[in-house]
Amino acid sequence: MTLETVSTRPIAGQKPGTSGLRKKVAEFARPHYLANFVQSIFNALGDCAGRSLVVGGDGRYYNRQALQLILRLAAGNGFARVLVGRGGLLSTPAASCVIRKYGLDGGIVLSASHNPGGPDGDFGIKFNGANGGPASESVTAAIHEASTRIDHYLLCNSPDIDLDRSGSHQLHNTTVEIIDPVEDYAELMASIFDFPKIAALLGHKRFHMCYDAMHAVTGPYAVEILEHRLGAPAGTVINGRPLEDFGGGHPDPNLAHATELVARMNSDAPLAFGAASDGDGDRNMVLGSGIFINPCDSLAIMAANARRIPAYADGLAGVARSMPTSRAVDRVAAELDIPCFETPTGWKFFGNLMDAGRITLCGEESFGTGSSHVREKDGLWAVLFWLNLVAELSKPARTILREHWQRYGRDYFTRHDYEALPAEQAEEVMAALRQQLPALAGRSYHGHTVHSADDFCYSDPVDGSVSAGQGLRILFEDGARIVFRLSGTGTSGATLRVYHDCYQRDPALLEQDPQKALASLIAAADELAGIRRQLGRQQPDVIT
């Protein structure tokens, strides 16, 4: 096995977005593309000799080829130890778990999350640090900077290794260990939740549930945990086999894409509980019988009931949510008298708060909730949290949700996405809106008078770093809010996200369709940004 230095040149556009570098498969498969980026990660880290890493992915098309190349690069760069999930699989939260459990220096996760896969689909790569969490903005900036200066990468000329069998391989000075991707994570879950109680619930003859793994990475995790360890009937997990193209589906756990789950929930024999996860297993959607539990509400309910879960029995240090997420959790935090932080979109912003012990739970409207057990959002963890709660409270999920609204009021929330916009046009709309911000206070739009407006800027309370330009916020005098921002995870053109939320306390008005409850705010957003007028879009592509 020889080591080789391969000459290369910088490739434009290797700038990580909200969550790593996401591009079309065809782009990643271009000569030197992946090797350049991985070497740039290693260059940003400094001397890699003797360091350790975990590598795995969501199993999408190109996962295996990418893994083999990354192992050669890791060996070329002198890593001492690389752990790899068997079959090349590791969910994002499981990778975080492995980094923390084995004290590794970091990890590389191959995934484009909920984006579709296959030869014409998307691929992605992200780097997590020694705390198990997504690289901070300063690290991703250093990686991008390295990618603009790269002139060679270091490769070990070794044959492909068998990813499907557990065991050890030696690539030059690097020991590669193929590990069970599920075991460590399943053990962690058993240490957090009351497994016997959940098992009793799942064994109850009147409790029927369904978990849709969407042919993505959580299939093996859900089968092991829900069916094998907790005794749910075989078949509880549907679409459980990870496929390179996710079976042609879009592994995004929402009402539009988790169609099989939604059909089962609404069938003649409706289920009591349903859940789904995304491509890499960090997102979750939770459904009660006949009801969708909005992720913002889910976070608030978790915070309000955390003490009922064994791992959180002593209470929460604090909570956090991303800025566009509704303020439902803020109300719970106020009642519990614990701190509540508002961060920019992106899980990486929660890491410092968790490492400093300032928060225990956090979440985002984008179907992500998690806790300090790892440093990623965690789909299956959220599902187990809900099951534990249903078992502990002896109440259906829908009742838990309704009682929460009765007690705290309801934060109606909806996000409208306008996808594949010409990037320039989207930037123009945002720039025009940004310019208007100082003049908006006092103006009325469809019955809502603007109280204040700004471009969200976050100062990290732990390290003092400042992240500006994180979304345009329009706050209204009646407490309603609209947020506009461009997505940092898309791969075609630009995606404009418009977030709307308003608060309702009237007990008689808590069960409305959010699109109706927010109709005047949706109209206000259109007028403010000129979505129909300037973008020529009559309706959003996706509503969540």
Residues involved in catalysis: 113
Q: Which amino acid is at 102?
A: Y
The dihedral built from the CA positions of residue 477, 482, 483 and 486, taken in this order, carries a sign that is: negative
Helix, strand, or coil (residue 382): helix
Residue 28 CB, shortest distance to ligand G16, in Å, is: 17
Nearer to ligand G16, 115 or 147 (CB): 115
- Rounded distance between C-alpha atoms, residue 221 and residue 266, angstroms: 26
Comparing C-alpha atoms, which of 158, 202, 179 is closest to residue 70?
158
Query: Applying CB under 6 A, does 456 fall inside the site for ligand G16?
Result: no
Crossing angle of helices 195-203 and 379-393, in 10° steps, is 70
Residue 198 CB, shortest distance to ligand G16, in Å, is: 25
Instruction: Give Cβ neighbours of residue 401 (< 8 Å, ≥ 6 apart).
Output: 288, 291, 293, 297, 301
Query: Applying CB under 6 A, does 417 fall inside the site for ligand G16?
Result: no
Token pair belonging to 197: 């109680």
Residue 49 has a CB neighbour count (10 Å cut-off) of 10
Query: Applying CB under 6 A, does 10 fall inside the site for ligand G16?
Result: no
Query: Applying CB under 6 A, does 114 fall inside the site for ligand G16?
Result: yes
Nearer to ligand G16, 123 or 347 (CB): 347
Residue 112 CB, shortest distance to ligand G16, in Å, is: 8
Query: Applying CB under 6 A, does 381 fall inside the site for ligand G16?
Result: no
Of 366, 372, 470, 544, the one binding ligand G16 (CB under 6 A) is 366
Query: Applying CB under 6 A, does 363 fall inside the site for ligand G16?
Result: no
Residue 508 has a CB neighbour count (10 Å cut-off) of 7
Instruction: Compute CA distances 396 → 194, 288, 328, whole Å.
Output: 17, 7, 20
Nearer to ligand G16, 78 or 134 (CB): 134
Query: Applying CB under 6 A, does 544 fall inside the site for ligand G16?
Result: no
Nearer to ligand G16, 51 or 215 (CB): 215
HSE toward the beta carbon, residue 527, CA cutoff 13 A: 14
Q: Radius of gyration (Cα) for the chain, nearest Å?
A: 23
How many helices (H) does the chain have, and how many strands (E)?
A: 18, 27
Contact 132, 91 (CB under 8 A): no
Residue 359 CB, shortest distance to ligand G16, in Å, is: 15
Nearer to ligand G16, 292 or 350 (CB): 350
Query: Applying CB under 6 A, does 253 fall inside the site for ligand G16?
Result: no
Of 36, 77, 147, 345, the one binding ligand G16 (CB under 6 A) is 345
Comparing C-alpha atoms, which of 133, 128, 117 is closest to residue 26?
117
Of 184, 224, 297, 364, the one binding ligand G16 (CB under 6 A) is 364
Query: Applying CB under 6 A, does 122 fall inside the site for ligand G16?
Result: no
Helix (H), strand (E) at residue 204: none
Kindly identify the residues of this chain, within the stretch 484-543, that bind ligand G16 according to CB under 6 A: 487-489, 497
Range in contact with ligand G16 (rule: CB under 6 A) among 2-10, 52-60, 235-243, 343-351: 343-351
- Rounded distance between C-alpha atoms, residue 203 and residue 197, angstroms: 10
- How many residues bind to ligand G16 according to rule CB under 6 A? 17
Query: Applying CB under 6 A, does 212 fall inside the site for ligand G16?
Result: no
**Size (the chain), residues:** 544
Nearer to ligand G16, 236 or 366 (CB): 366
Query: Applying CB under 6 A, does 347 fall inside the site for ligand G16?
Result: yes
Range in contact with ligand G16 (rule: CB under 6 A) among 224-232, 261-269, 339-347, 403-411: 339-347
Residue 280 CB, shortest distance to ligand G16, in Å, is: 7
Nearer to ligand G16, 5 or 492 (CB): 492
Range in contact with ligand G16 (rule: CB under 6 A) among 196-204, 306-314, 344-352, 421-429: 344-352
Helix, strand, or coil (residue 18): coil
Q: What is the 3-state secondary structure (H, E, C) of 296-351?
A: HHHHHHHHHHHHHCHHHCCCCCCEEEECCCCCHHHHHHHHHCCCEEEECCCCHHHH
Query: Which residues lie across from 542 on neighbouring strands?
Result: 417
Residue 300 CB, shortest distance to ligand G16, in Å, is: 17
- Rounded distance between C-alpha atoms, residue 383 and residue 390, angstroms: 11
Query: Applying CB under 6 A, does 330 fall inside the site for ligand G16?
Result: no
Q: Where are the beta strands (DSSP E) in 395-471?
A: 410-421, 444-445, 448-455, 458-459, 466-467
Query: Applying CB under 6 A, does 416 fall inside the site for ligand G16?
Result: no
Query: Which residues lie across from 284 on neighbouring strands?
Result: 277
What string marks each residue from 383 to 402 as x (binds ligand G16 by CB under 6 A) or -?
--------------------
What string marks each residue from 266 to 305 as x (binds ligand G16 by CB under 6 A) or -?
------------x---xx----------------------
Nearer to ligand G16, 88 or 370 (CB): 370
Query: Applying CB under 6 A, does 117 fall inside the site for ligand G16?
Result: no
Instruction: Give Cβ neighbours of residue 123 (< 8 Å, ≥ 6 apart).
Output: 22, 23, 24, 25, 28, 60, 61, 62, 66, 110, 112, 117
Residue 473 CB, shortest distance to ligand G16, in Å, is: 15
- Rounded distance between C-alpha atoms, residue 3 and residue 478, angstroms: 65
Of 14, 19, 128, 491, the one binding ligand G16 (CB under 6 A) is 19
Q: Please give the residue ranges that form the binding site for ligand G16 (CB under 6 A).
A: 18-19, 113-114, 278, 282-283, 345-347, 364, 366, 368, 487-489, 497
